[in-house]
Amino acid sequence: MDQYSEEKLAKLTNKKFKRLMGVKRECFNVMVEAVENAYKERHKKGGRPSNFKSREKVIVLLLYIKNYNAMEDYGIQFDLPKSVVCDYIHEVLEVLLLNKNFRCVLDYRG
């Protein structure tokens, strides 16, 4: 996850950021905020905290959509089991698809 650290991504130009993530930096930040708000809403009454930040979950989803590698690849890259990668992708995708602003960004059919 070091290659996607906040510091390294902050140093990228906007053009390089979009090339890497597939979305503009502003859109990425709004996505992270939406996922964070949904996470807080879901865990209002408690529950086990996630080991992965909302920011990292969005990165996994965007890389999956952009590159469409196997979930096992992302599991190895982020040191997670495939099932957790799958859970994160579906969790973030569900949150973002409910928000109409992200439907065009997440339409990975073409």
pLDDT at 92 over 80: yes
User: Is the residue at 48 inside a domain?
Assistant: yes
Instruction: Give the three-state DSSP class for 95.
Output: helix
User: Is the residue at 4 inside a domain?
Assistant: no
pLDDT band of residue 82 (cuts 50, 70, 90) is: very high
User: Is the residue at 59 inside a domain?
Assistant: yes
User: Is the residue at 1 inside a domain?
Assistant: no
User: Is the residue at 98 inside a domain?
Assistant: yes
User: What is the pLDDT averaged over residues 83-91?
Assistant: 91
- The DSSP 8-state label assigned to residue 79 in this structure reads T
User: Is the residue at 67 inside a domain?
Assistant: yes
pTM of the model: 0.77
Contact, 22 vs 68, CB < 8 A? no
Q: Report the distance separating Cα 81 and Cα 34, nearest Å.
A: 25
* pLDDT given for residue 29 in this prediction: 92
What residues make up the domain containing 93? 23-102
Q: How many degrees, rounded to 5, is the angle at CA 70 between CA 91 and CA 33?
A: 30
Number of domains in the chain: 1
Average pLDDT, the chain: 85
| Most trustworthy range by pLDDT among 24-33, 38-47, 92-101 | 24-33
Q: Which of 17-26, 40-49, 81-90 is least confident?
A: 40-49
Q: Report the distance separating Cα 72 and Cα 92, nearest Å.
A: 18
